[in-house]
Structure 1
Amino acid sequence: MADANDTELISFNNGFSWNVLNSDVNRSLLPVTVILGLYLLAGVIGNFLVIFIYVFRWEAPKTDRFFVPILAVLDMCACVISAGVGIYANMNIVRFRSDVLCKIVAFLGIFFVKMSGDLLAIIAVDRYLKLNKPFEPQMSFRWKKISVLIASVTGLLMAMPALFTYGVIPLKHPGTGDMGWLCANSNTPHQKHITLEWSLKVCYQFAMLFDVLARFVGLVVCYFHIGKKIYKHSEKRCQLRLQQGQNVPNRPICVNKRAEETELDVLSSNTGRETTPSTIVRMSRQSSRFDCQRVRLTMIFMLITVIYIVTMGPKLVIMIADSVLERFWTIEPTPKFGILRFLYTCFIFNNVVNPFIYGFLDRRFRSELYKLFTRSHN
């Protein structure tokens, strides 16, 4: 990289020093660093508890608990790498000397984040088949393992180019010749003539953008059909009560405490059966279970979709802007730089919150967690 372009990210002034700039930026990024520390702490503890409960304490069929601990492992690794290195980068913004560490961190960060997102999409497909296509072939335990393997391979393929596009950018003081080092996507300099290398790096950024957008569309489509199925079931229950009058007991919502343990696979189980009083009562009991489950699943689906796109969106937008806009980044101790750094790292929140969505909203999980801590104090 030419010296003329090495310093385009820095605004020089009289008495400039890399050490002074690093200290000033470090202080300005202190709130972001604290948030990353909270991400790291909550992500590691939360995901570890999910792994421990689901693997060692929960006596459930393997097929029912297959994806959740894998997702927790991926999220915990993503938190450690992204948040941990983010803290180090904030404290050494222009003193990141190791080019190898910069490349490895970028590679691992993209791999774990992509695989975690792909696993969310696989879970969505599995739930769609189970709820909307209960009488058609389902994802067997073997195919679930194959799907995770495919997600691993695609994650490696997507992350591999990061070893070439990311690296330490040398920053040279034009007056004193003092050197600084910045770990970033090395797609600069912005030259007058577009080069093949620059074009390939921009294409890689857009490929990651389209990958996330396609996954988001898949999540929305799957959960839309699931929600429509649940809504139709609720309407059918209301019509049944109106038709039968007093024959159907008016049971309170969520009367069954084990409602959340089911997978709603009986939503279509009564299709084609003769409607008898006993069948009506049984359907009413099932319906009362799913009133509570419907709300819970809808909240979970909305949280997954909204949090994923809200947290990943800013990072991707900044990555694209960095690729196509000249001098998008300016490393200065200003509020603008702090806000950009926060938006660039807020995707980690998605890896932190997944344990709460998939674990802590589950009554059985909370029960096992309560038993774990109460027994440890006895």
Structure 2
Amino acid sequence: MNHTGLTEYELLRQWNTRLRVVLLPHSILLVVYFIVCVLGNMAVIYIYQIRFHHNTDGRFFMPYLAGMDMLACFVGCATSLLINFNPVLYPSNVLCKVSYALCYFFSTSSALMLSVIAAQRFLKICRPFKFQMSGRRKGFGIVIIIVVSSGMSVPAFVTFGISSIRNTSMNITGQYCASINVNGSNMTSLVYNCTVSAICVINMCFLCTLYTRIGNKLREMRQRRLQRIATREKWSDADVFTSETEKNSVNTLDKQRRHTSKNVTEMGNQVTLMYFIITFAFSVFFIPTFVTILWDIIDVNPWLTKGDAYVVGFRFSYTVFIINYLINPLVYSLFDSDFRGELQKLIPRFCRNV
């Protein structure tokens, strides 16, 4: 291609525009992520915080998790769109550092929130007569999440920033937002991201352990309930009552107690199942992102110098973690009938006002 007569900045704009077009499908996908996430999580906050005035113990964290997810999605999509639209003409070193620090803060907060939720479900189901999370303790847990997430995101101000990238065919140098070398070495960035990845793996193991024990406990409780029902039916058939009226009265009361107990148990089990699915999705969608981040640090050739298919695949893998933040409302609508009923009322009202 003949670049005679064009200034270096004009050549950079040509290169930037070509990459922006290549990344356009991914940018459109990010906009879809953002719209779905905001609408879904706003519905979760509105329904659980306003419509359900007295949330049950299991639903306490849902509005807070939705708020964290919505902020994490906003920051993640905004940061990624800024990179996609300015792949080799990134405007500011400070903006790059702040964007990635906020991404790490909200992503860590969301992940730690799942750990607190898992601990609360474990105590509620496996240790019902021991230490429990009161309202004050839950609030304290949220404060701890914010403090720990802040500490884990601070190093991003050092390990991320503007890096130079050379296009030898056009004989120009651009700048992009990514992990940077500290004191001439990538070791600091590598250690930081490996540490974050290790903490995430430990968190996943912690979550898997708790939900495995919760699942075993729920299975034991179900077996005991079935045994009690079988025992009651056996005694009922023995005709130990003095009259048919007394027998029918006791059977009616017994059925009512069993129905109430079954409803409470099933509600608790559904809440636990919802949180388990959300945790499983967190594990599935975060792994590709961290693998991509580590590969980007190790690879000596920046992703922007690769082929178009690699560039798009790299960006998709880098941002696939955002899907975590938009699937929670779908999980709630599938397993929480109360939420589903309120959502069915909310959608027509929202469509009429648009």
TM-score > 0.5, shorter chain as reference: yes
Deviation string 1:268-321 (CA, Å, 9 cap, x unpaired) is xxxxxxxx9789646743564378558745642442232111110011111222
Is the 1:170–1:181 contact (alpha carbons within 8 Å) kept by the matching residues of 2?
yes
Paired residue for 1:20, among 14, 18, 27? 14
Task: Name the counterpart of 1:167.
Answer: 161
Which SS does the other structure have where 1:346 is aligned? helix
Letter in 1 for 2:15: L
Is the 2:159–2:188 contact (alpha carbons within 8 Å) kept by the matching residues of 1?
no
Letter in 2 for 1:214: I
Q: Percent identity?
A: 29
What TM-score do the two structures reach when normalised by structure 2?
0.83
- CA shift, 1:66, in A, is 3.5
Residues 280 and 187 of structure 1, relative CA distance in 2, 3 Å threshold: farther
Paired residue for 2:189, among 193, 201, 221? 201
Instruction: Please say if 1:308 is aligned against 2:286.
Output: no
For structure 2, the 5+ residue unaligned runs are 238-249
Letter in 1 for 2:142: V
Is the 1:248–1:281 contact (alpha carbons within 8 Å) kept by the matching residues of 2?
no
Task: Name the counterpart of 1:34.
Answer: 28
Task: Name the counterpart of 1:7.
Answer: none
Is the 1:96–1:168 contact (alpha carbons within 8 Å) kept by the matching residues of 2?
yes
Is the 2:270–2:336 contact (alpha carbons within 8 Å) kept by the matching residues of 1?
no
Q: Distance in 2 between matches of 1:62 and 1:160?
A: 35
Deviation string 1:298-357 (CA, Å, 9 cap, x unpaired) is 642442232111110011111222223432634345212211110110000001112333
Task: Name the counterpart of 1:48.
Answer: 42
Paired residue for 1:319, among 293, 318, 329? 293
Q: Distance in 2 between matches of 1:335 and 1:197?
A: 29
Which SS does the other structure have where 2:64 is aligned? helix
Query: 1:268-307 counterparts in 2 under 5 A?
Result: 281=255, 284-285=258-259, 288-289=262-263, 293=267, 296-297=270-271, 299-307=273-281
Letter in 1 for 2:212: F
Q: Distance in 1 between matches of 2:110 and 2:268?
A: 25
Instruction: Please say if 1:58 is aligned against 2:52.
Output: yes
CA RMSD of aligned residues (A): 3.1
Query: 1:70-149 counterparts in 2 under 5 A?
Result: 70-149=64-143
Structure with the bigger percentage of helix: 2
Residues 170 and 370 of structure 1, relative CA distance in 2, 3 Å threshold: same
What TM-score do the two structures reach when normalised by structure 1?
0.78
Letter in 2 for 1:239: Q
Q: Distance in 1 between matches of 2:206 and 2:106?
A: 19
Residues 245 and 141 of structure 1, relative CA distance in 2, 3 Å threshold: closer
Q: Distance in 2 between matches of 1:99 and 1:138?
A: 46
Deviation string 1:244-266 (CA, Å, 9 cap, x unpaired) is 546679xxxxxxxxxxxxxxxxx
Deviation string 1:216-257 (CA, Å, 9 cap, x unpaired) is 1111111111111111122223333444546679xxxxxxxx
Task: Name the counterpart of 2:246.
Answer: none
Letter in 2 for 1:355: P
Give the paired residue count: 334
